[in-house]
């Protein structure tokens, strides 16, 4: 079908065409206060079409692709594109054919057969065994088949499977813990481990005291730093840089701290791993920040040609985007600090100035005081009000075991251990 | 739109033993345009149709969705969903709905400048004309999009509705730099309307004024004086505050814990109805029935007639926002707050147009009554915790007030305050209100829903600025 769409568009005078077709099915459960409150099943079929003609660019989606619909859309898109003006920065799409990588642990048919009701039940029990009184969350399983063709010789297919589990465990209104588990492989979805961790954090978080403002060394749980890392990943997109929405603007070649950040499109069992990006270029691993030095922004074919650099296989046709972000650096005993905080989760990260990196974010779920290397007591009602470049500069040590995080706030999968950041500014509200 | 397929879904579910069934068929025609630093990046259009189906089987709630609109495909996805729902019964919460009136109604919002009649080149030109007004900004990002949503809704309680809703959204982001100084600003406009809404937005006049104010703040702004002071919040800042801390905590699904794993719960509890949360000048409502408003609807996505809800009345907690499930749980009636952002997701309890009601003072009077303080005219950074108690709003365009007069621009003053402290500190509100557009996020999968938020200019006494 996608070849037909492409042929029709080229016959009508298109210069560049990318057509992709995704067929997906999903099952979903939502549970609240230890009970399932919703079950859901979904079947969707979507065709995305990108067309360039005389540097005029148009994009459309067909979500109910009948034969009649396709013919009509092809006519419409070619009529629509005539009304547009030239994008002077456009330089074309990926030129194939390519050899594609094999994704390790990227697809497992057993995902669709997972007994998600049973998994939720066992997950709730595991959290309760750690002291949780009520648990809420979701579990999703999805299967996806995709095909992509472009007018420069790309014709490729891929399959993906994914299971995602999220649990927030509560002991009372002031004491909660949150953890997610996700995997492309059925046997590697660690529902029990995530539930135990959420339950344990919730139990430890009971009876918090009001936090005090000041400057703290903070150990971020992977879930918490993952939230911040997605913003670093977004800032690495050349689209963000050009739009004034990146604190990495003008920092190529600069030292940003003592860590490395990779974009990995082929990460084994990676939720965002796949053979190709949105224009059909083979995915790869890109060292965005290597030993602290900002090496590159994320590019598609067109933006890479604009800046005379090598494409990084991160299309987004217009806005290049990260695949899986992998953060790494010197490992050690992150909790071995004299006085600081352990932040297990954050949310609502917002910027005052994207270009400068001024932002704040709110610790959520268990927050703990660390004194002389020991977690001593839970705290509440604090906010991290800092600057993203300073946070990066002050990253000092990493925990030993990286995990893959995806969550409600972490929409770009991130692989990272605990992260110790020195001298983080903490504020609190006027009561 | 083949509404018979939606009727079929409800019929099929009833035949399969569902005690309740509903189907929502949506057809959308959308266009969107992006202009970045004067360059027309890309434009697009979508024409999509799909079906969302919800049912109660053995007291368990099930949902099914597909865009493959043929009876056999619909039957397949419903069958899959029924199997899953049946399996979940032993662990399922008993779902019940409050009563709903049978109704058969049609709503078509009229347009003066029809979305479908305006040429794509004209839509792009709207952005290009605005861009000309702010060329001195270092980076400029504009987008505009429009949607004509045709929706057919039917349920097994005798509700049948059809609506046609046009919606226009415009977004801009500006970035100014001078040496090491910089300032940024974004704003969204939105309306349920044809393109005639552009006139009321008056951006040709507003944008150059805003640019000038931003330049002045960047070049001449002083650091915010820290400490306890009086603060005047413009309608824009009032709007984000009421949305975050007088809207969200009054969503009954949050209060019942149903968003715990996602957008969080609420510090407000059912037992707090009738308790004081603010001063007696504070009344906050949510009203979807405002014609032309970005959050407009007359029936919610469970077929309940929409009405104004009053969350806070003269400082007292009065009412929550409900759907049929939470209202049944809390033994009241639904007040029509169920909304789904698209056919393939379930309706949740959502805000529509949330605002504080005006008072009797002129804005100038409020400012005159401040010996030393801060005026927050617009904001950039903001956030609030997941119980809606601890919030922060940081000024973008902001000024010092000295002896009742606005004197100098102030850089990024931050108001960080608890919800009771915020609403208790308000001693006066102005007699004019203004509403601002936003897209509110909630649920998993995430649903962004169009809303307005606003109110009058308000005066806060003795709060902390940093």
- Listing DSSP states for B289-338 in one string gives T-TT-TT--SB-TTSPBP--EEEEETTEE---B--HHHHHHTTS---S-E
Q: Which of B323, B341, B351 is nearest to B52 (CA)?
A: B341
The pLDDT value given to residue A368: 98
Instruction: Give me the interface pTM, i.e. the ipTM.
Output: 0.96
Could you give phi then psi for residue B72, rounded to 5 degrees?
-65, -35
Same domain, B289 and B183: no
The pLDDT value given to residue A431: 84
Provide the mean pLDDT of chain B.
Answer: 97
**Cis, peptide link before residue B427, omega less than 30° from 0:** no
Q: Which of B361, B368, B381, B351 is nearest to B433 (CA)?
A: B361
Same domain, B66 and B152: yes
> What are the respective helix, strand and coil percentages of chain B, to the nearest 5?
25, 40, 35
Please tell me if residue B69 touches chain A, with a CB cutoff of 8 Å: yes
Scan for tokens 């006519």, then name that residue.
A75
The domain segmentation of chain A, as residue ranges, is 2-204, 210-427
- Chain-chain contact of B88 with A87 (C-beta, under 8 angstroms): no
Domain end among B170, B193, B220: B220
User: What does the DSSP 8-state code read for residue B431?
Assistant: S
Please tell me if residue B61 touches chain A, with a CB cutoff of 8 Å: yes
The CATH T-level fold of domain A2-204 is PmbA/TldD fold (3.30.2290)
The pLDDT value given to residue B285: 98
Query: pLDDT (tens digit, 9 = 90+) per residue, A154-174?
Result: 999 999 999 999 999 999 999
How confident is the model over B387-412, as a mean pLDDT?
98
Same domain, B148 and B205: yes
pLDDT at B421 over 80: yes
Same domain, B187 and B296: no
The pLDDT value given to residue A72: 86
E-strand stretches of B83-238: 103-108, 139-155, 159-178, 181-192, 222-223, 227-233
The model's confidence at residue A272, banded by pLDDT at 50, 70 and 90, is very high
Q: Which residues contact A343 (CB under 8 A, 6 or more apart)?
A: A218, A219, A220, A221, A224, A363, A367, A384
Same domain, B413 and B285: yes
Q: Which residues contact B329 (CB under 8 A, 6 or more apart)?
A: B96, B252, B256
**Cis, peptide link before residue B316, omega less than 30° from 0:** no
Interface of B with A in 242-261 (CB under 8 A): 256-258, 260-261
Query: pLDDT (tens digit, 9 = 90+) per residue, B372-387?
Result: 999 999 999 999 999 9
- Chain-chain contact of B412 with A358 (C-beta, under 8 angstroms): yes
Q: Which residues contact B330 (CB under 8 A, 6 or more apart)?
A: B252, B256, B270, B320, B322
How confident is the model over A241-267, as a mean pLDDT?
98
Could you give phi then psi for residue B447, rounded to 5 degrees?
-120, 120
B403 near B371, Cβ under 8 Å?
A: yes
Alpha-carbon gap, residue A53 to A424, rounded angstroms: 50
Same domain, B228 and B205: no
How confident is the model over B264-274, as a mean pLDDT?
97
Neighbours of A157 (CB within 10 A): 13
Alpha-carbon gap, residue A367 to A384, rounded angstroms: 12
Structural domain harbouring B439: 223-465
Nearest to B173 among A27, A45, A243 (CB): A243
The pLDDT value given to residue B10: 98
Same domain, B132 and B278: no
What are A320's two structure tokens? Answer: 């290049």
- Chain-chain contact of B346 with A38 (C-beta, under 8 angstroms): yes
How confident is the model over B285-313, as a mean pLDDT?
98
A163 near A139, Cβ under 8 Å?
A: yes
How confident is the model over B5-33, as a mean pLDDT?
98
Q: Which of B370, B408, B416, B110 is nearest to B229 (CA)?
A: B370
How confident is the model over B281-310, as a mean pLDDT?
98
Query: pLDDT (tens digit, 9 = 90+) per residue, A329-382?
Result: 999 999 999 999 999 999 999 999 999 999 999 999 999 999 999 999 999 999
Query: pLDDT (tens digit, 9 = 90+) per residue, A78-107?
Result: 999 999 999 999 999 999 999 999 999 999
pLDDT at A70 over 90: no
Please tell me if residue B223 touches chain A, with a CB cutoff of 8 Å: no
Same domain, B249 and B208: no
A112 near A171, Cβ under 8 Å?
A: no
Domain end among B167, B190, B220: B220
Burial class (CB in 10 A: 0-12, 13-18, 19+), A87: buried
Please tell me if residue B412 touches chain A, with a CB cutoff of 8 Å: yes
The pLDDT value given to residue A164: 98
Query: pLDDT (tens digit, 9 = 90+) per residue, B324-355?
Result: 999 999 999 999 999 999 999 999 999 999 99
- pLDDT above 90 as % of chain B: 98
Scan for tokens 């590019």, then name that residue.
A299
Scan for tokens 């859309």, then name that residue.
A73
Q: How many domains does chain B have?
A: 2
Same domain, B213 and B229: no
User: What does the DSSP 8-state code read for residue A409?
Assistant: S
Q: Which of A144, A118, A431 is nearest to B463 (CA)?
A: A431
Same domain, B234 and B155: no
Query: pLDDT (tens digit, 9 = 90+) per residue, A208-227?
Result: 999 999 999 999 999 999 99
The pLDDT value given to residue A68: 79
Domain end among B178, B199, B220: B220
Alpha-carbon gap, residue A131 to A202, rounded angstroms: 8
Nearest to B257 among A32, A59, A351 (CB): A32
pLDDT at A66 over 80: no
Query: pLDDT (tens digit, 9 = 90+) per residue, A120-155?
Result: 999 999 999 999 999 999 999 999 999 999 999 999
Same domain, B246 and B101: no
Specify the CATH number for the domain of residue B134. 3.30.2290.10
- Chain-chain contact of A351 with B380 (C-beta, under 8 angstroms): yes
Neighbours of A197 (CB within 10 A): 24
Do the strands B414-418 and B390-395 form a parallel or antiparallel pair, or are they unpaired?
antiparallel
Closest CA of chain B from A236, distance in Å: 17
pLDDT at A65 over 70: no
Task: Tell me if the pTM is above 0.95.
Answer: yes
B422-434 burial: b if 16+ Cβ within 10 Å, else e? bbbbbbbbbeebb
- Chain-chain contact of B93 with A76 (C-beta, under 8 angstroms): no
- Chain-chain contact of B265 with A173 (C-beta, under 8 angstroms): yes
């Amino acid at each position: 079908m996608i070849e037909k769409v492409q042929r029709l568009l080229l016959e009508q005078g298109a210069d560049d065409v990318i057509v992709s077709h995704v067929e997906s099915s999903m099952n979903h459960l939502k549970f609240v206060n230890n009970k399932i409150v919703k079950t859901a099943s979904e079947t969707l079929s979507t065709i995305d079409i990108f067309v360039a003609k005389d540097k005029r660019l148009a994009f459309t989606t067909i979500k109910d692709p009948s034969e009649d619909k396709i013919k009509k859309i092809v006519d419409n898109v070619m009529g629509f594109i005539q009304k547009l003006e030239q994008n002077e920065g456009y330089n074309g799409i990926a030129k194939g054919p390519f050899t594609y990588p094999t994704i390790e642990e990227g697809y497992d048919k057993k995902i669709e057969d997972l007994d998600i009701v049973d998994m939720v039940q066992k997950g709730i029990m595991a959290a309760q065994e750690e002291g949780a009184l009520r648990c809420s969350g979701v579990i999703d399983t999805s299967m996806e088949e995709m095909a992509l063709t472009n007018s420069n010789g790309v014709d490729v297919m891929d399959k993906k499977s994914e299971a995602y589990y999220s649990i927030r465990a509560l002991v009372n209104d002031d004491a909660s813990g949150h953890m997610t588990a996700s995997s492309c492989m059925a046997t590697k979805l660690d529902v029990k481990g995530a539930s135990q961790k959420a339950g344990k954090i919730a139990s430890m978080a009971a009876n918090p005291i009001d936090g005090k403002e000041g400057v703290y060394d903070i150990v971020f749980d992977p879930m918490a730093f993952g939230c911040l890392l997605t913003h670093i990943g977004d800032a690495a997109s050349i689209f963000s840089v050009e739009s004034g929405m990146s604190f990495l603007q003008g920092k190529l070649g600069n030292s940003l701290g003592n860590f490395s950040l990779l974009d990995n499109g082929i990460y084994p069992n990676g939720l965002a791993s796949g053979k190709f990006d949105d224009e059909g270029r083979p995915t790869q691993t890109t060292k965005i920040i290597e030993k602290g030095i900002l090496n590159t922004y994320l590019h598609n074919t067109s933006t890479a040609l604009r800046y005379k650099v090598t494409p990084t296989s991160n299309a987004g046709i217009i806005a290049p985007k990260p695949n899986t972000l992998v953060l790494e650096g010197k490992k050690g005993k992150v909790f071995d600090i004299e006085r600081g905080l352990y932040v297990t989760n954050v949310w609502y990260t917002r910027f005052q100035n994207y270009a400068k990196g001024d932002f704040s974010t709110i610790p959520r779920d268990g927050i703990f005081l660390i004194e002389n290397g020991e977690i001593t007591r839970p705290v509440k009602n604090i906010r991290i009000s800092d600057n993203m470049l300073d946070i990066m500069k002050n990253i000092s040590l990493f925990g030993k075991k990286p995990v893959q995080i995806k969550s409600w706030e972490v929409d770009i999968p991130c692989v990272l251990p605990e992260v110790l950041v020195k001298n983080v500014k903490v504020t609190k509200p006027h009561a | 739109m083949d509404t018979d397929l939606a009727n079929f879904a409800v019929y099929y579910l009833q035949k399969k033993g569902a005690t309740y069934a509903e189907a929502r068929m949506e057809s959308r025609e959308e266009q969107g345009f992006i202009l970045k630093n004067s360059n027309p990046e890309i434009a697009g259009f979508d024409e999509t149709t799909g079906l969302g189906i919800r049912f109660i089987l053995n007291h368990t709630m099930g949902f099914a969705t597909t865009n493959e609109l043929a009876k056999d495909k619909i039957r397949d996805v419903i069958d899959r969903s029924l199997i899953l729902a049946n399996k979940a019964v032993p662990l399922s919460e008993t779902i019940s709905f409050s009563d709903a009136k049978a109704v058969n109604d049609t709503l078509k919002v009229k347009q003066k400048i029809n979305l479908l009649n305006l040429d794509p080149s004209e839509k792009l030109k709207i952005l290009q004309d605005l861009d000309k007004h702010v060329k001195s900004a270092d980076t400029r990002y504009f987008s505009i999009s429009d949607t004509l949503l045709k929706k057919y809704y039917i349920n097994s309680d005798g509700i049948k509705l059809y609506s046609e809703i046009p919606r226009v959204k415009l977004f801009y982001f500006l970035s100014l730099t001078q040496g090491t100084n910089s300032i940024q600003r974004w704003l969204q406009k939105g309306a349920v309307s044809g393109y005639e809404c552009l006139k009321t937005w008056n951006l040709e006049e507003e944008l150059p004024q805003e640019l000038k104010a931003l330049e002045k703040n960047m070049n001449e702004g002083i650091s915010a004086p820290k400490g306890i002071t009086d603060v005047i919040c413009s309608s824009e800042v009032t709007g984000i505050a009421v949305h975050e801390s007088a809207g969200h905590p009054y969503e009954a699904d949050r209060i019942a814990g149903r968003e715990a794993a996602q957008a969080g719960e609420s510090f407000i509890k059912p037992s707090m109805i009738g308790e004081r949360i603010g001063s007696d000048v504070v009344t906050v409502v949510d009203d979807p029935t405002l014609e032309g408003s970005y959050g407009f609807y007359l029936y919610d996505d469970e077929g309940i007639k929409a009405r104004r809800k009053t969350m806070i009345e003269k400082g007292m907690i009065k009412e929550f926002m409900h759907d049929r499930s939470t209202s049944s749980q809390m033994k009241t009636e639904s007040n029509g707050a169920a909304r789904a952002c698209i056919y393939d997701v379930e309706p949740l309890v959502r805000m529509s147009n949330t605002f504080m009601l005006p008072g009797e003072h002129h804005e100038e009077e409020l400012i005159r009554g401040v010996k030393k303080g801060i005026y927050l005219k617009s904001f950039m950074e903001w956030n609030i915790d997941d119980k809606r108690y601890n919030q922060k709003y940081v000024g973008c365009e902001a000024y010092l007030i000295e002896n009742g007069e606005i004197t100098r621009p102030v850089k990024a003053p931050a108001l960080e305050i608890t919800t009771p402290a915020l609403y208790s500190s308000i001693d006066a509100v102005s007699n004019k209100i203004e509403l601002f557009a936003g897209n509110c996020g909630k649920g998993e999968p995430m649903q962004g829903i169009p809303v307005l938020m606003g109110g009058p200019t308000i005066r806060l006494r003795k709060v902390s600025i940093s």
